[in-house]
Structure 1
Amino acid sequence: MSALANRISDRLEILTASQPVHVASFAEDVRHGLQALPRWLSPRYFYDDLGSTLFEAITRLPEYYLTRAETEILREYGWEIVRALDAPFEILELGSGSAVKTRLLIEETLRVQRWLRYCPIDISPEALHESASRLVSAFPNLSITAYAADYFAVLGTGDISLKHPVLALLLGSNIGNYEPVRARELLLALAATLRTGDGLLLGADLKKNPEALELAYNDPTGVTAAFNKNLLGRINREFDGDFDLQQFDHVARYDPGRGVVDSFLGSRRAQRVRIATLDMELDFDAGDRIHTESSYKFSVPDLGALGAASGFALKKTWFDAQHRFCVALFLRT
């Protein structure tokens, strides 16, 4: 990753890609996905500033249990998790977001070692700057080297400088947002960045009854719908599109056979949409759908198999009191 370094202080540095590759890839993916049959948009583009704000609101919804369940696990067992690796170690996090849950692990880690280096990777420079600034202010013995980039742009490339051992974090059921082949590719890229004996702490939503899962992705207040529709709003803002967000419905359905919640945007009527910057004109019939996200759910054997296929051995698992969510510790083999 060709990067521009922004040293905020002697304990905080943010590296940002010198070329805004994500802008070009967004245009390319919009063109490719909306001309495909069936149509699709990649969930990687959910998280512009508005999307990140909406997702933080989702995590506070009573129906969206995932964040609360994972936080419960980290509060209850964080002390045990950080003692499973030999200290001192560094923390590498994929998709740090607001880093609220990460803070729990940082607190526990600084109880067993005097100094900690934390290396978050997140697509949003703004979110990184905000969360990292809060953390260095809260913890005098913490230094941060942050990477504003797509995971695949930095993992396994030698761009990340780490002192081993390392505890890598992939929380928030982030792994469930990838198709199985892509999830394995992500973990293989992470394995190429780590060394034998390094740890991976993975948060994963567990398979359960369809009603509970669908409610988590169909909140009655409409925040999740706004988050999904923001993909169309982002196209309007960045590429001069004229999607009428009121003419698309948010749809989420759980498929028990595949173990996945699929999210769509469904056209409410026949309509034509123009995206001026991309010179695109799209016709939708009533009921036509755009696939926007797949959220995979797991069993513990599923997690063990995924790790084994990617260079990791499952060491230990922790669960919330209602057994809805799992935090799993793997070791790099």
Structure 2
Amino acid sequence: MQTGGGESRLEIRNYLTSSYAEEIARDVRLGLSGGQKRIPSKYFYDERGSRLFEEICMLPEYYPTRTEMAILQEYAGAIMEPFAGGDLVEMGSGANWKICRLLDAAWQADSRVIRYVPVDVSEAALRTAAVDLLRRYDGLSVLGIVADFTRDLGSIPDNTSKIVSLFGGTLGNFTGPEAESLLGMVAGLMHPGDRFLLGLDMLKERAVLEAAYNDSRGVTAAFNRNILHVVNRELNAGFDPLLFDHVAFFNEDAEQIEMHLAAKQAMTVDIGLLDMAVEFREGETIHTEISRKFSRESAMRLFERAGLAAERWFTDDAGWFSLVELARND
């Protein structure tokens, strides 16, 4: 559907096939029934969780966002210079901080025709961000795709040249096989000349990594516990978030940060809408997130398996974060 008046350049298409209520019920039932209890990290991001994450991005310990923004600031012109126009696709779009760096570079260069195609599960957040961009950039059009990009990449239009972007450390939230599958799906969208701009958080000292997920103000702890608030609200559960400790550490063998919530005492938690009682031992954890870190070598192996080839690497002087420009490896 199109909006009226000043938003006539905005179109929203909704491809979500299952309701949020059905999905969280299925995921929580399955996740809390296993030996290692889990709740998928996507349930961090209700309105409160999204605000907390934006606060995390500003913390002195949390280097990824400011480092990636600095890379974009320096290299946006080089990234956008070969792009003659078409679709600028952003998977998991969220706030506009990063995409604006690319749009600024394009608008400074000339008046090439660009359509921004954000893909996000939240129609409200997508619409708000899109309207802001339409005010900033005369001539820009926006096609908002309400979808889960891990399942619905086929909803992205396939009839124009494009740059696809996945910013932040998002790829690191997927296991190796999941990441390979996702990258393979992106490769399947791409035609000759299309590019994929991928953010990668690189391996570095344990102290730097662990500090980024254990900030001194406790914002990350509140963000982690927020997932229990979401489960309480959506499934009529009885979690007391303050009875769970935030635990985040670097697993060297797996080359990933792991975030958990550890029960401070033995307890039983009722989940009303699931008619389910979950037993916890003291110290037992709910695994809420992984954040894998990459070396250039491990990333290159992953790209090759997914049918992609790295054409350009953009990184900071310390090598803490990378933006990789990929093409299909035909």
Q: So what's the TM-score if we normalise by structure 2?
A: 0.95
Number of aligned pairs? 326
Contact 1:114 1:141 in 2 (8 A): no
Which residue in 1 is equivalent to 2:239?
243
Contact 2:210 2:248 in 1 (8 A): yes
Amino acid of the structure 1 residue aligned with 2:105: E
Aligned counterpart for 1:55 among listed residues 45, 53, 56: 53
Which residue in 1 is equivalent to 2:168?
172
- For the residues of structure 1 that align with 2:61 and 2:123, how far apart are their CA atoms? 29
SS at match of 1:35: coil
Q: Say whether residues 1:309 and 2:318 are aligned partners.
A: no
Deviation at 1:113, TM superposition (A): 4.3
Instruction: Give unmatched runs, 5+ long, in structure 1.
Output: none
Aligned counterpart for 2:214 among listed residues 211, 218, 230: 218
SS at match of 2:14: strand
- For the residues of structure 2 that align with 1:303 and 1:264, how far apart are their CA atoms? 25
Q: 1:132 to 1:257 in 2, by over 3 A?
A: same
Deviations 1:260-309 (A, max 9, x none): 00110000011111111110111111100010111000011222222111
Q: Say whether residues 1:35 and 2:33 are aligned partners.
A: yes
- For the residues of structure 2 that align with 1:7 and 1:193, how far apart are their CA atoms? 28
Deviation at 1:22, TM superposition (A): 3.2
Deviations 1:85-110 (A, max 9, x none): 34123211111110211100011123
Amino acid of the structure 1 residue aligned with 2:101: L
Which residue in 1 is equivalent to 2:281?
285
Q: Say whether residues 1:185 and 2:181 are aligned partners.
A: yes
Which residue in 2 is equivalent to 1:270?
266
Which residue in 2 is equivalent to 1:87?
84
Give % identity: 37
SS at match of 1:153: coil
Amino acid of the structure 2 residue aligned with 1:303: A
Q: 1:173 to 1:112 in 2, by over 3 A?
A: farther
Which residue in 2 is equivalent to 1:135?
133
Amino acid of the structure 2 residue aligned with 1:56: E
- For the residues of structure 2 that align with 1:70 and 1:309, how far apart are their CA atoms? 25
Amino acid of the structure 1 residue aligned with 2:175: E
Deviation at 1:114, TM superposition (A): 2.4
Deviation at 1:6, TM superposition (A): 5.2
Deviation at 1:125, TM superposition (A): 1.6
- For the residues of structure 1 that align with 2:269 and 2:16, how far apart are their CA atoms? 33
- For the residues of structure 2 that align with 1:225 and 1:321, how far apart are their CA atoms? 30
Deviations 1:44-84 (A, max 9, x none): 2221212111111111111111000000000011111112x
- For the residues of structure 2 that align with 1:318 and 1:114, how far apart are their CA atoms? 24
- For the residues of structure 1 that align with 2:206 and 2:317, how far apart are their CA atoms? 19
SS at match of 1:131: helix
- For the residues of structure 2 that align with 1:42 and 1:322, how far apart are their CA atoms? 32
- For the residues of structure 2 that align with 1:166 and 1:13, how far apart are their CA atoms? 18
Amino acid of the structure 2 residue aligned with 1:95: G
Which residue in 2 is equivalent to 1:324?
320
Q: 1:18 to 1:68 in 2, by over 3 A?
A: closer
- For the residues of structure 2 that align with 1:284 and 1:160, how far apart are their CA atoms? 42
Q: Say whether residues 1:202 and 2:193 are aligned partners.
A: no
Deviation at 1:129, TM superposition (A): 1.2
Deviation at 1:20, TM superposition (A): 4.3
- For the residues of structure 2 that align with 1:81 and 1:137, how far apart are their CA atoms? 23
SS at match of 1:7: coil
Deviation at 1:7, TM superposition (A): 3.5
Q: 1:7 to 1:184 in 2, by over 3 A?
A: farther
Which residue in 1 is equivalent to 2:105?
108
- For the residues of structure 2 that align with 1:196 and 1:46, how far apart are their CA atoms? 37
Q: So what's the TM-score if we normalise by structure 1?
A: 0.94
